[in-house]
Amino acid sequence: MSIVTVQLGQCGNQIGHEVFNAICSDVHGTHGLCSKKENESYHDACKERFFSEEKSGVPVARAVLVDMEPKVISQALSIAARSGYWKYDDRSHFCQKQGSGNNWANGYSVHGPKHKDIIMNLVQKEAEKCDRLSGFFTIMSMAGGTGSGLGAFVTQCLKDAFPASFILNHVIWPYGTGEVIVQNYNSVLTLSHLYHSSDALLVHENDVIHKICAQLMNIKQISFRDVNQVIAHQLGSVFQPIYTAEGALHYSRSPLGDLMETLVPHPEFKMLGLRNIPQMPESSLAYSSFSWPGLIKHLRQMLIANATMEEGIDWQVRLPRPGSSIPSKHSTSKLLHFNTSIANLVILRGKDMHSADLGSFQDPVLYTSWLTPQDAFNLWKTPRAFNKYEKSAALVSNSQFLLKPLDNLVGKAWNMFASKAYIHQYTKFGIEEEDFLDSFTTLEQVISSYTTL
């Protein structure tokens, strides 16, 4: 029932720290809007999942922090300790002085093997503290050197050392116009390696979150902290305690296992996208009210039209009606092409969630031909509101959400690779051209699997 979080690299550590913040503030907030008993069992479930008891009484996050530079880790440690609500274990971190220089090969082939024993020792200690280990949640960015390269290596080591545990990789998709020249190489190498060792890849795109901050949260000067807080909110809405079955009496005790089983049992389809509504500045929360039918309608259209937030959804995209001619999937009119899903998971948090009708998500046309909605669609809910939102709905979807970004990424990386640009930086650390080709093959296979749904 416990999840061990492994925060990798600068991005991973910043986000990880915000995630624990969001979880803690949700648990301690007084806006649960449910009975005291419900609140207490929510609190207990959340505590067991993310924190361990210490003698001082302050909950200690079940996390291992890894980075090649000391700055971000020490910031994360001190901010957490100052909050008074939670903290990191002082011994559960590892850092060096020199960084990885945004070089995937450096992280994977040099830092990884060199520090493998120390890092895995830290992870082992955290795992032993858990009565029941649900699995590992790693947070990393794809563009840099440490998070991506060392992260891919660590994921492989986790898989070898804990073959019976679940591994969920949270991956940050870099800005399209990112500052790192070789980010496409790093991304391709990361994704292909993670695909082999991880059970699922949950993706957040920086561009998307940036848009949410700008348009929905009305933030003028968007800092990394704002972006990370939105990401943390979205992750919290997925991982906080939830009832996974109709009429369940206890909060589910196997968060990662349940997630994997509903969404990624097929080994070729591991890319997960996350949408969470509503999303608005905290100041507006008091003046807004929501209805389940409205939220569900928006969420469904976001799924079909592949929209990233609740504003600017293309309502023209519709599902073909049965009996009418189904537009061929490879038709040129991409406008009418809707987002086909393999599996969807909807999570509802807030009062009166039992009145919500999810029939619209169970339309067989939404899903690929070889899965029925009974297999493909799952609904989890709890009456306990999350993070001050009276009602919130999250959608974790294994669908064609990430097909276009992935295709673009591989295309750009391939163009660079064709002209052999910057390859020497990788070969000098042991990543040869064949490794690149293998990665491209893996990702092309993934793209083709998702395209022919």
Partner 1 sequence: MFCMLTLFPRFALLQSLQFWRLLYSLLKQVHGGQCTESDAIDTQIRFVKSALWYHGYGRPELYWLPSDGSAGSRELLLAFSWLLHRIGLLEQLLARNRVRTGDETSVCTCEDDLPNSQKGRTEIAPEYSLEDKVDVRYLQWLNGRLRFQWRSLHALHQEQCKLLHKIHLFTSGSHMDKILGHFSVTETDLIRRPENYKQLLQFLESETIQLEAFLEWKQLEQVYWRWMETVLDNMSEEGSMCKSQDAHTKKSTLPKVDSCCHWAGSLTGKIDRLSRDLMTVHDQLQELVTRRKSAWYEKMKTREEELQKEEFCAAARKIQEAVQLKLLDLTYRCALRKKKMHGSCRLVFRSKHSASKTGFGRSVSKEPISTVSATEVIRELQMRKASLERELKQLQEECRQRMDEVAQGLDGVICISP
Binding site for partner 1 (CB under 8 A): 1, 131-134, 164-166, 199, 254, 257, 260-261, 264-268, 369-371, 375
User: In the block, which residue shows the tokens 């919290």?
Assistant: 236
Which residue's CB is nearer to partner 1, number 196 or number 404?
A: 196
Which residues partner with 276 through β-bridges? 394
Which residue's CB is nearer to partner 1, number 207 or number 444?
A: 444
φ, ψ of residue 331 to 5 degrees: the values are: -65, 155
Which residue's CB is nearer to partner 1, number 126 or number 199?
A: 199
Cβ of residue 262: shortest distance to partner 1, in angstroms?
Answer: 9
Cα separation of 380 and 241, whole Å? Answer: 10
Cβ of residue 173: shortest distance to partner 1, in angstroms?
Answer: 25
Which residue's CB is nearer to partner 1, number 268 or number 432?
A: 268
Which residue's CB is nearer to partner 1, number 175 or number 440?
A: 440
Strand intervals (E) in 319-438: 341-350, 377-382, 391-399
State the alpha helices, DSSP H only, in 59-150: 70-83, 104-105, 112-129
Q: Which residues touch 101 (CB under 8 Å, ≥6 apart)?
A: 145
Cα separation of 447 and 450, whole Å? Answer: 5
Which residue's CB is nearer to partner 1, number 83 or number 442?
A: 442
Cβ of residue 259: shortest distance to partner 1, in angstroms?
Answer: 10
DSSP code of residue 243: B
Cβ of residue 371: shortest distance to partner 1, in angstroms?
Answer: 7
Which residue's CB is nearer to partner 1, number 96 or number 124?
A: 124
CA torsion sign for 104, 106, 111, 114 is positive
Q: Give helix 403-418 / helix 183-197 axis angle, nearest 10°.
A: 120
327: how many CB neighbours lie within 10 A of its CB? 13
Which residue's CB is nearer to partner 1, number 44 or number 375?
A: 375
Which residue's CB is nearer to partner 1, number 224 or number 370?
A: 370
CA 393 from centroid of its chain's CA atoms: 16
Q: Which residues touch 312 (CB under 8 Å, ≥6 apart)?
A: 215
Cβ of residue 244: shortest distance to partner 1, in angstroms?
Answer: 12
DSSP code of residue 320: P
Cβ of residue 378: shortest distance to partner 1, in angstroms?
Answer: 12
Cβ of residue 269: shortest distance to partner 1, in angstroms?
Answer: 9
Cβ of residue 257: shortest distance to partner 1, in angstroms?
Answer: 4
Cβ of residue 137: shortest distance to partner 1, in angstroms?
Answer: 15
Distances (CA, A) of 283 to 65, 213, 220, 221, 280: 33, 14, 15, 17, 8
Bridge-based pairing state of the strands 341-350 and 391-399: antiparallel
Q: Give helix 183-197 / helix 151-161 axis angle, nearest 10°.
A: 10
Cα separation of 1 and 175, whole Å? Answer: 34
Cα separation of 16 and 169, whole Å? Answer: 12
